[in-house]
Chains A and B, each alone.
Chain A
Amino acid sequence: MASAAPTKLYADDVSLVVVLIDTNPFFWTTSEKNSSSLSFADFISHVLPFLNAIMLLNQLNQVVLIATGVNSCEYIYDSSLPHQQSADGKMPAFYSEILTKLEQFVSKDQRLAKNDSSLTMSSLLSGSLSLALCYIQKIFRAGPLHPQPRILCLQGSPDGPEQYVGIMNAIFSAQRSMIPIDSCVLGTQNSAFLQQASHITGGIYQKPAYPDGLFQYLSAVFATDLQSRSFLRLPKPPGVDFRASCFCHKKTIDMGYICSVCLSIFCKHHKKCSTCGSNFNQSQQDASSTLDHKRKTPEA
């Protein structure tokens, strides 16, 4: 190997892992009541050793932690920044720093929720994904030598349909920059957003059957760098839900009508598009018939 020193240091197995953790209180309180699932405290006690494990795997590995709340998103921890020593020495400095920041974040998130009457169960995943992507772009800008970035979403709360466009934009941007989005879903239902995110960006989607063993799932499936992944036999997803939801009733449909001007999705044939206002004046009950006969119909 005749390469220069920095090339050697940033080999292909150095990773930058941006971990997005869901701090949604609605999800974690219901989860606590359910005996088979985790409490938030247990969850954190699984995640912290995992973060530590990533940093142990390679001296140059970098970990960034972003919290996804109900009303805000925030950077919690960045291992590349200088850190102060732990004050009491009971806990590693790294743990105590994350815990204090997390506590501050959760209480701030709660304060923001106070004057909001509408109760939403979903977390702001699109915000934390956007933050993570901006951070990774900064790493790309630093020069040709950088760790291999990836995003890991630890999500519990259900998808928020109002974030659909935002999440999709983030997914496509990640795909263009070749950043895989891994997802580990802790809730009771599969997340269609994260299934699509992992499928499109080439990440891993996993819904642990036994949330108690979260650390084992994390370390076995999500800890390996992108280079080594190709040698592993990773869990295969059970299929991806690619159905769309219609703009008129927010129903999930497998067949529908698309406005040719703005691509809005409707479950029934309308006279006028509610998004862009175009009139569908052509008397066609089934527009697909034009497709079937398109080779036969000459230009009017």
Chain B
Amino acid sequence: MSGVGLELRRRNGDESGRSGKFGGREEDEEEEEENEKGLEAWERAYADERSWESLQEDEYGLLRPIDSATLHHAQYRRRAQSYSSAVRIQKGLIRYLYVVIDLSRAAAETDFRPSRRAVVAKNVEIFIREFFDQNPLSHIGLAIIKDGVAHCLTDLGGSPESHIKALLGKLECSGDASLENALDLVHGCLCQIPTYGHREVLILYSALSTCDPGDIMETIQKCKKARIRCSVIGLSAEIYICKHLCEQTGGIYSVAMDESHLKELLLEHAPPPPAIAEFAAANLIKMGFPQRESETAVSICSCHQTAKVGGVYTCPRCKARICELPTECRICGLTLVSSPHLARSYHHLFPIDPFLEVPLNNVNQKSPKACFGCQQSLLKPGSNSIIRVACSKCKQHFCLDCDIYIHESLHNCPGCESVRSSKLGNEQ
């Protein structure tokens, strides 16, 4: 059936961690061994069996390992360019997302190793953590499709641990998949959320068919009307109905080729999607910022009704004690967040401009000798190209590694942060 051709394409290049990323793959077995630093054969995740794919021919016709570090940088630069071209878009920061996992018979297939369901569960776990990291005020719910029906595994909630625990407990698969039942279930749940929230569904679909009790086209229209953005990641082959669903509701449809591709596709859904203005009405939400009490104070929390020592928050309106944020106060219903939760999203609002590459012929004696960020030398004797980039605002030079770190994790330009901002404004 499906996936027979895909099986051969299984690669695990990115999974082998740092050493694989920067070391490149060597022709010699010994060097290959060294690459997998410290990992025994049985410890490695399903290792690359197509080592010839990581070779390339150089200008003399000799075989060379692909310089993965350069490749990585080139990929990154392309992405950075595409980001910068997409100017400021409003993003949906408060998301209500249902992740629907297909646990029908098809999920037991072993074309993904050890099986589709295991791979899906592992990657959904990574996704949930990443999702809450990037969307701290959002909620996730889990649902599964099994035996032709859909079940809610967890209700919409803000705690990653409870979802992951529920997911890993329920992983048997059987029966057929039903797209319509899943959409009906999620539609019912998402209709209750407040209007400012962005409603989304992400379906991880293993089956090649759907076994529906009614007209699925009607259900799709219903979802479209309810402004639910439906995205599907297929694990087998492209299916028309999934594509139709995504097109109708404004979601993304993609099919994973292998495990690392699946992870990539899944994580694409973690950053907040562009918001469609009429989908969610702008609104002011009343929120409270509780203070954390001293680590030695003893109090009874209202959520578990147990006595706790230290680390308890106090609702500013009704003074009830809460042990976890973000949440809704059990007593007065006020949404409680801590200010870092809000601050976590600010980098989406104030992104830093991509750094510009400094042409090598512009580099002269006066240019900085080391990367401003990490002090790595930018002049390597013997090496022909050390690419350097510069911030358009503060004109400091950075190495590519810092460039990637600054734009993908830090979201601060160390150069601009090290200058009084009033000065930067004057210079321009």
Could you mark each residue 153-197 of chain A with 1 if its beta carbon is under 8 Å from any beta carbon of chain B, else 0?
000000000111110111111001100000000000000000010
Which one, B284, B289, B292, contacts A260 given CB within 8 A?
B284
Q: How far is the CB of B128 from chain A (nearest CB, A)?
A: 15
> Which chain B residues border A177 with CB–CB below 8 Å?
409
Interchain CB contact under 8 A, B410 and A133? yes
A279 touches B282 (CB 8 A): yes
- Where the two chains meet, the residues of A that have a C-beta atom closer than 8 Å to any C-beta of B are 7, 70-75, 78, 112, 116, 118, 120, 124, 126-128, 130-131, 133-135, 137-138, 140-141, 143-144, 162-166, 168-173, 176-177, 196, 199-200, 236-244, 253-263, 265-266, 269-270, 273, 275-276, 278-282, 284, 286-288, 290-292, 294-295, 297-300
Contact B284 A168 (CB under 8 A): no
* A243, B317: Cα distance in complex, Å: 13
Contact yes or no, B282 A237, CB < 8 A: no
Beyond contacts A78-B375, A170-B412, A242-B289: 19 other A-B pairs, Cβ-Cβ < 8 A, are A120-B420, A124-B418, A127-B418, A130-B413, A133-B405, A135-B374, A138-B376, A141-B18, A164-B343, A199-B292, A200-B340, A238-B295, A255-B289, A260-B285, A261-B275, A261-B282, A265-B342, A270-B284, A287-B283
Beta-carbon contact of A239 and B291 below 8 Å: yes
Interface segment among B79-87, B177-185, B187-195: the answer is: B187-195
Which chain B residue has the least Cβ–Cβ distance from A192? B339
Question: For residue B371, which residues in chain A have a CB less than 8 angstroms away from its CB?
Answer: 134
Q: How far is the CA of A196 from the CA of B339 in the complex (A)?
A: 10
**B137 an interface residue at 8 Å Cβ cutoff?**
yes
Question: Cβ of A288 and Cβ of B405 under 8 Å apart?
Answer: no
Q: Which residues of chain A have C-beta atoms less than 8 A from B294's C-beta? A: 236-239
Are the C-beta atoms of A134 and B402 separated by less than 8 Å? yes
Nearest B residue to A74, CB-CB: B418
Residues of B within 8 A of A280 (CB): 282-284
Q: Pick from B17, B22, B137, B423: contact of A263, CB below 8 A.
A: B137
Please give me the residue from chain A that is nearest to B333 by CB atom.
A292
Q: Which of B226, B295, B328, B342 contacts A258 (CB 8 A)?
A: B342
B197: A residues at CB distance < 8 A: 260
| Cβ of B411 under 8 Å from chain A | yes
| 5 intermolecular pairs with C-beta atoms under 8 Å apart | A73-B414, A74-B418, A134-B371, A260-B283, A288-B335
Complex CA distance for A255 and B194, rounded to whole angstroms: 20
